[in-house]
A and B are shown apart, each in its own frame.
Chain A
Amino acid sequence: MTAQDFRERSSWVFTARVVDAHCFASDDGRLILTRYRLAVDTTLKGRHQEWAEVVEYGGRLGDKELFVSHGARFRKGAEYLIFTHRDSQGRLRTLGGAEGQFQIWRDGRHHRMLRVYPHHPLSDWFQTVAPSGLVPLEQGMQLLSRQLERPHESR
């Protein structure tokens, strides 16, 4: 994935907190998927909605677990900035797998920070403010909005 891919192929970019993760079997029972329910905070691109359901391959049903490479995985209770798109079955998916998710941390003073790793395709967008890889969330959102060429919309 390139920065251009993230810009052009994302349909909905938002920050959200994971409130639930539910694993389920595919219709034919041969795959395990996880449906993440997220409370959306801020939308940077796309139509704002209060809730999002992101589906990813992989998960655990009983004692059985399916690992899928390069897939995005979310932790219940954690906050993320997520680039999403719709797959062929109309499901909301994380764009670029793990590369399309950015965790939001709280620093020692409880400021919300966006973790951007230096080699990430989007790191250039934050380069001027993130030598440490941690970007104050509000500032990061403004930079992202500028790159995505659309003002962000909050609930």
Chain B
Amino acid sequence: MKAVEVTPACQARRSGLLLLLLVSLLALSQSAYLILTGDQREPVLWGEASLPVRMQVWRGFTDQLPSIVAGSRPKIAFEAALNEWVGVSSIAVSLSETSRSLVGQDGVNLITISDDPTHRDLIGENLAVALMWTLSSRIIEADVAFNPSPPSPWSTIEDKDDLSLLDVAVHEFGHTLGMEHSVARSSRMFFQAGAFNFGLHGLSYDDLAGINLLYPLPGLDRLTGSIAGTVTRDGQPVFGAFVVAADQTGALAANAITQRNGSYRIDRLPPGLYSLYAEPLDGPTTPLNLAGTLVSPATDLVTDFLPAFHGGSMAPTVELSAGALRSGVDIAVSRGNVSVDPEFVGVVEKLGSGIRATSTPASAFQGSSPHFVAAGKGVEQLPEQQAFVLLGAISTDGNVAQTLSNGSIVFKLFPMTIADDVPRGDYSAFFRRGAQFGVVTGGLQVFSPFRFLQAFGQFAHMPGIAGSSAILVNLHPELSAQGRVTSQGSTPGALDLEGLPPAGAGGAMEFDLLPAGALLARSRGPQEFRGAMLAESTRSLGAAVLVESPFGTTGLNPSPPLQYFVAPVEVASGGQGADTGLALANLDERGALVYLQLQDSAGRVLGEAVQELAPRAHLSRFVREMIPGAVPPDFKGSVAVTSNRALIATVIRTSPGVFTTLPVIQNRVAPQRVFPQFVQFGPLSSELILVNPSPTRPATGVEVQVRGQNGLPAPVTLNGTFHPNGRLTLNLPPLGSTRLLSSQTEVIGWVEVSSQPGVGGVLLYRSAEVGTAGIGAGAASTQQVLPVQRIASQALDMGIAIVNLEPGPVRVTLQANDAAGTPAGNRREVVLGPFQQLARFPNDGELNLGLPDDFLGSLWLDADGRIGVTGILQSPGVLTTLPTFNRQLPIIPADDL
């Protein structure tokens, strides 16, 4: 991968004329559809016998190496990078450590940075390389080697001068799963994909389409369709044309490369209207970057033709339905060589401010009016009027607003207006010169101005009956955060929150948070609201929501954007007893289709349904209503949910007098799930629900270990069976689930669940007196933040459960910060023995944090080993849990974006 940056002369005097950043990734076997293919054009993917893919990180891959910035956490970055692919497909991957450091076929799928002569020779000038051994088109082993002497240091702490381990790992892991380079600049599989983004860009739709061809999610074929056709020139097939589909908003969907007979097929497209164009494969991606059997090193590839649209029109005219194949979408191109093909693009907020253009995509925000910068081939010849064209939702007059030069390269700037409702995504920039046009596919990426999102699928205000509150915490200890709270739900704009200013345009309530500061926002007013709540921020944000109803108070875990998840379902007496619902919100500016598949605890499919969700809409229903007729009157199992757009989701569990929310379960690589509180004592009991989220792979050898507060295995009775060592091992079929209910034997402690790959779970923590709390699996990390609320008049306090996950002692430093981010109470240090748990109220016993009786803020925990933490909010009649926030991810920016 090679990213090149240029600046006009006026800046060059300050910053250097030409900054060349050497960043190389890789190329593999070719494909017509951005996946690897074998000799017979069959997809190259992991074979059943090799699953789950067991990736192993060399133990020496730490921030102690000279090429890695101190404080970086490579293994966490790798887990996050793998989760990008695992979370949106059915591939099963695990991640562990190994003492091996050298690449080579040895049965270990290695991730290494070992400084070895073979590695240096192998990597050359690249940042990293992936190696894949295949047998009969099945991957049997894969290694990834990072450059031990990169041109800039590796880091997981955002800094513009460092290389992002996370971003390069996402690209490399894409290859190890069978993904080929994408031709679109905005794709994570673009061969020059940004190595300096620090997680800013998620997977593009093109990446999603590719990985789902290899490892499909259940039901996705019912939510998407295919477009096929032929590209011809003078009636003859064009081999190696790059065909791009853009939806009616102008956002790119997916791409393909034509085969030798000129045909192409683009799969996994959401239903809607599309425009399609073909362009030559003449750079920046060329056949050299697609080093396989179809287009490279083919000699009859056709590249001397002009880009052209299907039907000769830029307007979206191809209508596609879900589940359909729309064929005959042909594109006729004419012979010639395009005269306008800018190599460098950029965005400048204001004319006169600093300009730079790079070979990677330009980034702009929703709700902004910046200028698009183009530089390179043919730009100097563009006319002053109507030279720049964007499809769909982004408006431009197309006229040149400014021309600059650094002597050899001409820069032209064009105005754009990107409204708030322009979908986040990737766009192509077109340049018109006379009758012909040039295109930079995926040259513009549109983001929310707020990078960090904490979203909650359920937020309700019913005057006099129910209300909700949110605690927001700025997780940056040194920099302020700006943000906004918006809602999606029953009555647009109806949500009014005490503690925040009145809603402005679009229903947004803006907030500022001091470094490490916190705020409480509580629903109020006469208008009823049921829906979802979104808190967005310029800084890494922690957020927790409490929903109060006559049936008790429940704490909500935030939901990440999801395209696939599984939720445990329980129904009793046709819903008269226990019942389960889903609260879903479509995060996209376009409509979503949602596939739901119900299965029993053995994974047997009992029913399925497809739901529509309008743009930015919210839906909250019982599962038995969503999949009519499928749910037996008494049922325990799960529902798998696939969407063609990003959703947020919360599980709602009801029973007479009880209202609880549970987090959903994602496909993840994490091998260990921790529930820091497990109790069977007096009126308190616990129910552990485990679900295998993989639709294809059984989870075998799942180990459940219950431990007491002293860290030792604790005898426990689960489902009526006594386990003297607190341990049981079980197997779960694909999408299978199990419920382990405690009884009889007294236990106060915690539980961990280990499996490769990870099964998901939730813990129901029940009290006969004060209700039920649902706890999601906690993150195992060394830096965590917990929201804290204490209200003396309501006798409300927050219990804290901390678990040492290490086999040796761990030292934990605790420091509370008040709402202004100022240290409050006593800074404390506690030492936990191996696997010990400490559960206390803040001012009690060993904790003795000395917090005021009325307090709003956060508790920051720093440990020298991995810990698990949960908060337990208690007052008369209230028992609920609050999530902790992992400060290791998302990676905290070191300075302004």
**Interface stretch (choices B79-87, B123-131, B347-355, B493-501):** B123-131
The answer, yes or no, to whether B284 is at the interface (CB within 8 Å) is yes
Once bound together, how far apart are the Cα atoms of A112 and B25, in whole Å? 31
Once bound together, how far apart are the Cα atoms of A121 and B303, in whole Å? 19
Q: Using Cβ atoms and an 8 Å threshold, which residues of chain B touch A66?
A: 105, 131-134
The answer, yes or no, to whether A63 is at the interface (CB within 8 Å) is yes
The answer, yes or no, to whether A45 is at the interface (CB within 8 Å) is no
Given contacts A66-B131, A68-B122, contact A133 B2 (CB under 8 A): no
Q: In the complex the two chains form, is A96's CB within 8 Å of B283's CB?
A: no
Q: Which of A12-37 contact B (CB under 8 A)?
A: 26, 28-31
Once bound together, how far apart are the Cα atoms of A68 and B299, in whole Å? 22
Given contacts A70-B129, A89-B121, A131-B339, contact A28 B299 (CB under 8 A): no
The answer, yes or no, to whether A41 is at the interface (CB within 8 Å) is no
Q: In the complex the two chains form, is B25's CB within 8 Å of A70's CB?
A: yes
Q: In the complex the two chains form, is A93's CB within 8 Å of B126's CB?
A: no
The answer, yes or no, to whether B359 is at the interface (CB within 8 Å) is yes
Q: Using Cβ atoms and an 8 Å threshold, which residues of chain B touch A121?
A: 2
Given contacts A31-B103, A64-B134, A70-B26, contact A118 B341 (CB under 8 A): yes
The answer, yes or no, to whether B113 is at the interface (CB within 8 Å) is no
Q: Which of B87-142 contact A (CB under 8 A)?
A: 102-106, 117-118, 120-122, 124-126, 129-136
Q: In the complex the two chains form, is B2's CB within 8 Å of A57's CB?
A: no
Once bound together, how far apart are the Cα atoms of A19 and B476, in whole Å? 61
Q: In the complex the two chains form, is A97's CB within 8 Å of B299's CB?
A: no
Task: Report A64-80 CB contacts with B as 1/0, cut-off 8 Å.
Answer: 11111111011100100
Residue of A nearest to B24 (CB): A70
The answer, yes or no, to whether B282 is at the interface (CB within 8 Å) is yes
Q: Using Cβ atoms and an 8 Å threshold, which residues of chain A touch B104?
A: 26, 28, 30-31
Q: Using Cβ atoms and an 8 Å threshold, which residues of chain B touch A123?
A: 283
Q: Using Cβ atoms and an 8 Å threshold, which residues of chain A touch B24?
A: 1, 70, 97
Q: In the complex the two chains form, is B343's CB within 8 Å of A118's CB?
A: yes
Once bound together, how far apart are the Cα atoms of A93 and B650, in whole Å? 55
Q: Looking at the complex, which one of B26, B125, B296 makes contact with A96 (CB distance below 8 Å)?
A: B125
Q: In the complex the two chains form, is B124's CB within 8 Å of A93's CB?
A: yes
The answer, yes or no, to whether B490 is at the interface (CB within 8 Å) is no
Task: Report A106-147 CB contacts with B as 1/0, cut-off 8 Å.
Answer: 000000000001111101000000011110000000000000
The answer, yes or no, to whether B29 is at the interface (CB within 8 Å) is yes
Q: In the complex the two chains form, is A97's CB within 8 Å of B125's CB?
A: yes
Q: In the complex the two chains form, is A67's CB within 8 Å of B288's CB?
A: no
Q: In the complex the two chains form, is A97's CB within 8 Å of B133's CB?
A: no
Q: Using Cβ atoms and an 8 Å threshold, which residues of chain B touch A30?
A: 102-106
Q: Looking at the complex, which one of B20, B25, B134 makes contact with A67 (CB distance below 8 Å)?
A: B134
Once bound together, how far apart are the Cα atoms of A133 and B283, in whole Å? 10
Q: In the complex the two chains form, is B29's CB within 8 Å of A117's CB?
A: no
Q: Using Cβ atoms and an 8 Å threshold, which residues of chain A touch B191?
A: 70
Once bound together, how far apart are the Cα atoms of A120 and B377, in whole Å? 12
Once bound together, how far apart are the Cα atoms of A93 and B121, in whole Å? 9
Q: In the complex the two chains form, is B299's CB within 8 Å of A105's CB?
A: yes
Once bound together, how far apart are the Cα atoms of A117 and B2, in whole Å? 15
Q: Using Cβ atoms and an 8 Å threshold, which residues of chain A touch B333?
A: none
Q: In the complex the two chains form, is B304's CB within 8 Å of A97's CB?
A: no
Q: Looking at the complex, which one of B102, B175, B284, B291 makes contact with A71 (CB distance below 8 Å)?
A: B291
Once bound together, how far apart are the Cα atoms of A93 and B289, in whole Å? 18
Q: In the complex the two chains form, is B125's CB within 8 Å of A5's CB?
A: yes
Task: Report B16-60 CB contacts with A as 1/0, cut-off 8 Å.
Answer: 000010101111110000001000000000000000000000000
Question: Distance in Å from the Cβ of B762 to the closest Cβ of chain A?
Answer: 40
The answer, yes or no, to whether B62 is at the interface (CB within 8 Å) is no
Question: Distance in Å from the Cβ of B130 to the closest Cβ of chain A?
Answer: 5
Residue of B nearest to A28 (CB): B104
Q: In the complex the two chains form, is A89's CB within 8 Å of B117's CB?
A: yes
Q: Using Cβ atoms and an 8 Å threshold, which residues of chain A touch B126?
A: 69-70, 97
Given contacts A63-B135, A87-B121, A117-B286, contact A69 B175 (CB under 8 A): yes
Given contacts A64-B133, A68-B129, contact A75 B337 (CB under 8 A): no
Once bound together, how far apart are the Cα atoms of A97 and B283, in whole Å? 17
Once bound together, how far apart are the Cα atoms of A99 and B36, in whole Å? 20
The answer, yes or no, to whether B297 is at the interface (CB within 8 Å) is yes
Once bound together, how far apart are the Cα atoms of A64 and B131, in whole Å? 13
Given contacts A96-B124, A118-B343, A119-B284, contact A67 B337 (CB under 8 A): no
Q: In the complex the two chains form, is B337's CB within 8 Å of A73's CB?
A: no
- Could you name 9 residue pairs across A and B whose Cβ atoms are closer than 8 Å? A30-B105, A30-B106, A64-B133, A64-B134, A70-B24, A70-B126, A73-B297, A119-B283, A119-B284
> Which B positions have Cβ atoms within 8 angstroms of A?
2, 20, 22, 24-29, 36, 102-106, 117-118, 120-122, 124-126, 129-136, 172, 175, 191, 282-284, 286, 288-289, 291, 296-297, 299, 303-304, 337, 339, 341, 343, 359, 377
* In the A-B complex, the 9 residue pairs with the closest CB atoms: A69-B26, A30-B104, A119-B283, A119-B284, A70-B26, A98-B288, A87-B121, A117-B283, A117-B286
Inter-chain pairs besides A57-B121, A69-B131, A117-B286, 4 sampled, C-beta below 8 Å: A29-B105, A68-B26, A101-B288, A123-B283
